[in-house]
Structures are given as C-alpha cells and as structure tokens.
Amino acid sequence: MAATRSRLIAALILMAAWQALASSGLLFRDVVPSLWRIVAAIAITLGTPAFYANLGVTAEEFVVAVALGGLAGACAGLLLGANRFLAAAYERWVHYLAPVPKIIFFPALLLAFGAGEGSKIAIGAISCFFPVAISVASGVRGVRRVLLQVGHSFRATIWQMAMKIYLPAVREPLLNGLRLGFGVAAIGVLLAETKLSKAGLGFLVMDAYRRFDMPGMYALLILVVLLVAAVNAAVNACLSRHGRA
C-alpha cells in the first residue's frame, strides 16, 4: 500500500513538473503542451473512427508478425536446443544477430514484400524470431533428462518428442520469449509504419508530426505505449496462469 502511494506521489510530482515546464514559457508552448491539452487530444483521438481503423491495421500486422516469427523462433529454438551439433554450428550467429537494429533490413524487405502490410509483417516477424528462438533453445536444454529417457524408451518419433515432451516442458521459456518478442515486434511494425506506409498507428504518428499537431502526437505516443504495456501485462498474466502452473 505504501509502495503504491509512493509511486502515485512520484507520478504526480512528474506531472506537476511537466505542467510547470509547459506554463513556464521556457519552451515553445506547442512543443511542450499543457497536460490538459494532451488529455483533450487523447479524448479526441479516442473519439475518432480513423484511430480505430489504423489500430486495426497495426494490430493485424502485429498478430501475423508474432504468429510467423514466434512459430519460426519456436521451431529454430527446439532444433538448436535439442541438437548440440546444430547449436554449435548456428547458435552463436543467432545470439550475435539478436541485438542488431532490425529496422536496417527494411529497404530489403520493402523490395521483397512491397510497401504495404507485407514488409511491416516481415520486420515484426524477424524482430520476434530472435528472443523466442534464444529462449526456447535454452529452455530445451533445461528439460529433465528423465522425460527424454521416457520418450526414448517409448520409441517416440522426432515429431512426438517435440509435441509430447519438448513443447510442454518448454512452455514457460516459450511464453517468456514471446513476451520479449511481443515488445520488439510491436516496435518493428510501428517503426516501419513511420518510415513508409499509408495506414497504421506509426503512420498516424508521422501524420501528426507533419501537421505539427504536437498534442495529437503526444496523445498517440501515450496511447501506443499504453497499448504495448497492456499487451505485455496480458501476456504476463497468461504466463503466471499457465506457464508456472
């Protein structure tokens, strides 16, 4: 309770500092708008049908990207974790490529998938692939040997081993990897939208920037951050309900 109160007081202090800066006249008032103007812009944005249409575009790109990147990452992680030779051959590259800024691949993806949703999905999928693959690979290595021995003594096929033993055993690392993957996929999709697109929340942010609608841009950025945080919280809740069950 005391901790929540301290956090709320800290938030109030930060908001008061913002308001003081906005009212001080030290900065151009359109660059640092007052809290009231930002709140009003959030309300206006939430009341605009265009926001929901663009949210739908981004959500669709994000969901497909996570599905593709997550699936590919889980398969790669299972292979790298279960096979020491493959891990020694490729895992180092996966680790080194993981922190590289994926947005640099955007020109290549634009040519391959076009300026529409395809290139955004591709960049989101590539972003999501690495955390999932790394997390699943390390999770597979932590699978109890006795489970593997049971599988071998039942003469399980590779597919049965993957579906009946590895996948249930790596549920928590998989969800953890997906949790990280969600965040980076969202960033990948949104950044690609800011670079070149005709729809999506990233496009709306750039549109507000071009029109110098600063309260609108702050409102969109706050809403995007809240949406990403909400998705993250939902995955965390899912993780604590299913992953650690």
Partner 1 sequence: MLLLAPLFGIATLVAAGAALQALIVGDVISRYVVPPPSDVFAAFERIIVEEHVPARFLLTSAETFAAGVLILAVGVPIGFWLYHSQLLRRAFEPWVAAWAAAPLVLAYPLFLVLFGRSSVTIVIMGFAAGVAPVILKTVEGLVATRAVLIDVGRSLRLTQGQMFRKILFPAAMPAVFTGLRLGLTFSLINIVGVEFLINLGGLGQLINELAERYDLPGTYAAIGFVLLASVVFFAAMERIERWLQRAHG
Single out the segment in contact with partner 1 by CB under 8 A; choices: 4-12, 62-70, 148-156, 160-168: 4-12
Write out the binding residues for partner 1, residues 141-170 only, by CB under 8 A. Answer: none
Closest distance to partner 1 from the beta carbon of 228 (Å): 6
Give burial (CB, 10 Å; 0-12/13-18/19+) of 103: middle
DSSP H or E stretch at residue 107? helix 106-113
Applying CB under 8 A, does 195 fall inside the site for partner 1?
yes
Closest distance to partner 1 from the beta carbon of 56 (Å): 18
Among 214, 219, 231, 239, binds partner 1 (CB under 8 A): 214
Give the Å distances, CA to CA, from 114 to 102, 108, 136, 154, 180.
17, 10, 31, 48, 27
Write out the binding residues for partner 1, residues 54-113 only, by CB under 8 A. Answer: 84-90, 92-93, 96-97, 99-101, 103-108, 110-112
Cα separation of the two ends of the chain: 27
Separation CA 99–CA 119 (nearest Å)? 20
Applying CB under 8 A, does 17 fall inside the site for partner 1?
no
Applying CB under 8 A, does 202 fall inside the site for partner 1?
yes
Sign of the dihedral through C-alpha 37, 234, 81, 62: negative
Applying CB under 8 A, does 126 fall inside the site for partner 1?
no
Site residue total, partner 1 (CB under 8 A): 54
Applying CB under 8 A, does 6 fall inside the site for partner 1?
yes
Residue partners of 105: CB distance under 8 A and separation at least 6 = 123, 126
Separation CA 82–CA 139 (nearest Å)? 10
Residues engaged in binding partner 1 (CB under 8 A): 2-3, 6-7, 9-11, 14, 31, 84-90, 92-93, 96-97, 99-101, 103-108, 110-112, 183, 186-187, 190-191, 194-195, 202, 205-206, 208-209, 212, 214, 217-218, 221, 224-225, 228-229, 232
